[in-house]
Structure 1
Amino acid sequence: MRGLDLGATASVGVAAACDGAASGEALIVEADRATHAAKAAGRDGVVLDRPHADSVT
């Protein structure tokens, strides 16, 4: 598309299995929750889901 400037942003949710205890399905659920939190926080950001913490940051 010549002459047209396009921009893109991304909201990313991150989940990690540091101790290896989380199943693949649980990680997907946690990452999805974090992605929704990133979008709710104003989009164009990254949120790490910490299921054992008091809140998602």
Structure 2
Amino acid sequence: MNNSKTPKQLAERWNCSANTVRNLIFAGELHAFRIGEKLIRIPVEAIEEYEKCANS
């Protein structure tokens, strides 16, 4: 079971650009982790928490 998304996958879900997702990560507003030097993954739990806060 895949418990994380790429910035591109999340951008498609949120109808925005992958750069917008990356900017949220780099600003510390969205939790993510790296796999190696380049690959970024966002845990589903972090996505759900962000969406919960954004909708309240």
TM-score (norm 2): 0.30
Q: Select the structure that is richer in helix.
A: 2
Q: Select the structure that is richer in strand.
A: 2
Higher radius of gyration, 1 or 2: 1
TM-score (norm 1): 0.30
